[in-house]
């Protein structure tokens, strides 16, 4: 792979401008130019930044705004919580996006957008002007849904660990500090939420840790949903065969409030006291997307046009990843955020060149879940654009689940991670 | 104005060859849906246990995918994923990876 320095960048831009002035047929030779600002360097934002540079051959300038110093993967972070991986293994720098792909990285936080004037305001860096904007902010939490979590003290005791980072490490510490015989309870919000199989995978990996090191300890799953949301039969089998007497699953158990000091979850008709209480609150689009006046569905997720990933009422502002209202049967996953990033990159380059976007986009998804540090299973799906509903729809007959968790897919899950990290960031 | 109109006419003529002619990025975009596991443009991470597709002979890719689709070739996941793509899409993807260095 080649390195693009600033001089090449400018030369390439001039060449693109010359080409563009020659005109031509749709997509045949006409090159895109301009500046795209991307907010958020997760699976979606980093991918769109890289692919805009790759597919424009460096003629489109890309600025990535990210508040964290490094990318930290949520997928595989349950292995850290279970004691089978380290944070260092999930942490990747943004240096290759800059040195190999010529993405301009700004470590800052986006505070407000002004779509009419094509500007974005940063917390520290002033305003940035863009031709097109991509918001890939992931999720924020609906704290008001769990009143007892309205303060920092409670939030430092009752963790979510639903963004990989300091909370992942802190939850691991709570589990290692737990005496044998202690109870770990994990509360799952109603769907849709980030990573549908994630909470059940976490229950498995914590149960595995208990089985090895704290055999008298228990895992209680408080699920707000009427049944396991993803890979139901596969998880049920893992719990009954690998962790009998350790994992207890309670459906229709929505956490309405918590008593942080007493480590007690308050359900509608019941309470549940634990030694480690892990509450994943209900979620919504990340604040910069959710609070910028873009049209939301259910007041939570951004309504988008699936041909371009543009906010449906705000042309020029593309939103992707977990922040968007999910298409039918489409989970909120890192894999799909990466795929959204490619769909958006292809559409943005067409739009910048004055052409219509592709009318036949396709997305595919794979989510692996570990049941212990060596054995995993998958769910996969393929989604294509349906002009009648104007939505991405699952392709009938495609996709599916593993027959059972197995060691081969444990290795494939790790291989998946290495490849998607490279595809997203390198 | 006249010039612009003639350009539009030419474009319409060029698009007359069907959906593929109208969407010159289609093969690239479809192949990108494979990249999460098989690497950007098919350059998979070495030693990670997933096939690199870049530069793979087109007929070989087509045969492999056909065998996944029919069930002749055992798989953990590819037999499910490949059913999400039409034969025309698979042809475009196989051709795209064959031309990657």
Surface-to-core class of residue A142, CB atoms within 10 Å of its CB (0-12 exposed, 13-18 middle, 19+ buried): middle
Q: How many residues does chain A have?
A: 426
Q: Is the pLDDT of residue A177 over 70?
A: yes
Instruction: Check if B90 contacts A (Cβ < 8 Å).
Output: no
Q: Is the pLDDT of residue A178 over 90?
A: yes
- Give per-residue pLDDT as tens, A60-83: 999 999 999 999 999 999 999 999
- For residue B10, list chain A residues with Cβ-Cβ distance below 8 A: 25
Q: Report DSSP letters for A154-165, one per residue.
A: HHHHSB---SSS
CA distances from A201 to A218, A238, A301 (A): 15, 10, 25
The span from the CA of B101 to the CA of B83, in Å, is: 27
- Give per-residue pLDDT as tens, A115-130: 999 999 999 989 999 9
Per-residue pLDDT band for A29 (boundaries 50, 70, 90) equals low
- For residue A361, list chain B residues with Cβ-Cβ distance below 8 A: 29
Domain spanning A143-281: CATH 3.50.50.60: yes
Q: Is the pLDDT of residue A23 over 80?
A: no
3-state helix, strand, coil in chain A (%, to 5): 35, 25, 40
Residues facing A273 on adjacent strands: A264
Which of B22, B30, B49 faces A362 most closely, judged by CB atoms? B30
B86 found inside a domain: yes
**Cβ proximity of A101 and A53 under 8 Å:** yes
- Region A390-405: mean pLDDT is 98
Q: Is the pLDDT of residue B18 over 50?
A: no
Domain that holds residue B28: 19-98
pLDDT of residue A22: 39
The region of weakest confidence among A110-124, A132-146, A164-178, B16-30 is: B16-30
Cα–Cα–Cα angle for A102, A103, A105, rounded to 5 degrees: 130
Domain spanning A6-140+284-359: CATH 3.50.50.60: yes
Q: Residue B23 maps to which CATH number?
A: 1.10.760.10
The pair of three-digit structure tokens given for residue A331, joined into one six-digit string? 């989970």
Interface contact flag, A54 B30, Cβ < 8 Å? no
- Give per-residue pLDDT as tens, A292-325: 999 999 999 999 999 999 999 999 999 999 999 9
For chain B, how many structural domains are there in total? 1
This complex has an ipTM of: 0.91
Stretch 7-26 of chain B: residues touching chain A, C-beta under 8 Å: 7, 10-11, 14-15, 19, 22-26
B48 found inside a domain: yes
B12 found inside a domain: no
| Number of neighbours of residue A125 by Cβ within 10 angstroms | 14
- For residue B85, list chain A residues with Cβ-Cβ distance below 8 A: 362, 382, 398
Nearest CA to A252 out of A276, A269, A277, A227 is that of: A227
Per-residue pLDDT band for B16 (boundaries 50, 70, 90) equals very low
- Give per-residue pLDDT as tens, B44-76: 999 999 999 999 999 999 999 999 999 999 999
B4 found inside a domain: no
- The CATH 3.50.50.60 portion of chain A extends over 6-140+284-359, 143-281
Nearest-neighbour CA in chain A from B30: distance (Å): 7
Which of B11, B49, B84 faces A412 most closely, judged by CB atoms? B49
């Amino acid at each position: 792979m080649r390195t693009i320095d600033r001089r090449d960048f400018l030369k390439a831009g001039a060449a693109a401008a010359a080409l563009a002035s020659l005109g031509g047929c749709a997509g045949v030779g006409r090159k895109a130019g301009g500046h795209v600002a991307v907010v958020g360097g997760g699976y979606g934002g980093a991918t769109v930044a890289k692919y805009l540079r790759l597919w424009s051959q460096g003629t489109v300038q890309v600025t990535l705004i990210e508040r964290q110093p490094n990318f930290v993967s949520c997928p595989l972070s349950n292995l850290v919580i279970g004691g089978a991986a380290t944070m260092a293994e999930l942490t990747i720098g943004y240096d290759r996006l800059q040195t190999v792909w010529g993405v301009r990285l700004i470590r800052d936080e986006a505070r407000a957008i002004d779509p009419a004037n094509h500007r974005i305001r940063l917390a520290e860096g002033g305003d940035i002007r863009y031709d097109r904007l991509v918001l890939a902010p992931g999720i924020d939490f609906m704290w008001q849904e769990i009143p007892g979590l309205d303060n920092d003290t409670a939030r430092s005791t009752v963790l979510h660990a639903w963004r990989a980072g300091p909370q992942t490490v802190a939850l691991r510490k709570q589990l290692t500090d737990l005496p044998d015989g202690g109870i770990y309870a994990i509360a799952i919000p109603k769907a849709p939420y980030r990573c549908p199989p994630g909470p059940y995978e976490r229950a498995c990996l914590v149960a595995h840790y208990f089985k090895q090191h704290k055999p008298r300890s228990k895992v209680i799953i408080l699920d707000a949903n009427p049944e396991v949301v993803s890979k139901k039969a596969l998880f049920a089998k893992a719990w009954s065969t690998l962790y009998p007497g350790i994992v207890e699953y309670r459906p229709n158990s929505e956490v309405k409030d918590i008593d942080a000091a007493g480590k007690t979850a308050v359900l509608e008709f019941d309470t549940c006291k634990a030694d480690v209480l892990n509450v994943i609150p209900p979620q919504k689009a990340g604040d910069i997307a959710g609070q910028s006046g873009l049209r939301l569905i259910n007041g939570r997720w951004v309504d988008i046009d699936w041909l371009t990933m543009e906010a449906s009422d705000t042309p020029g502002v593309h939103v992707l990843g977990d922040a968007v209202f999910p298409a039918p049967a489409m989970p909120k996953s890192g894999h799909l955020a990466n795929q959204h990033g490619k769909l958006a990159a292809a559409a943005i380059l067409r739009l910048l060149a004055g052409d219509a976007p592709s009318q036949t986009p396709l997305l595919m998804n794979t989510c692996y879940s570990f049941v212990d540090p060596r054995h995993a299973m998958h769910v996969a799906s393929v989604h294509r654009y349906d002009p009648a509903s104007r939505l991405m729809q699952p392709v009938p007959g495609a996709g599916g689940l593993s027959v059972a968790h197995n060691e081969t897919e444990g290795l494939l899950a790790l291989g998946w991670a290495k490849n998607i990290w490279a595809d997203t960031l390198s | 104005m006249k010039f612009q109109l003639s350009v539009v006419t030419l474009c319409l003529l060029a698009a007359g060859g069907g959906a593929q002619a109208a969407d010159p990025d289609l093969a690239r975009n479809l192949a990108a849906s494979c990249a999460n596991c098989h690497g950007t443009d098919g350059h998979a991470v070495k030693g990670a246990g997933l096939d690199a597709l870049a530069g793979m002979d087109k007929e070989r890719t087509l045969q492999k995918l056909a065998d996944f689709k029919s069930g002749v070739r055992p798989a953990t996941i590819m037999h499910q994923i490949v059913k999400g793509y039409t034969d025309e899409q698979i042809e475009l993807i196989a051709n795209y990876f064959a031309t990657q260095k």
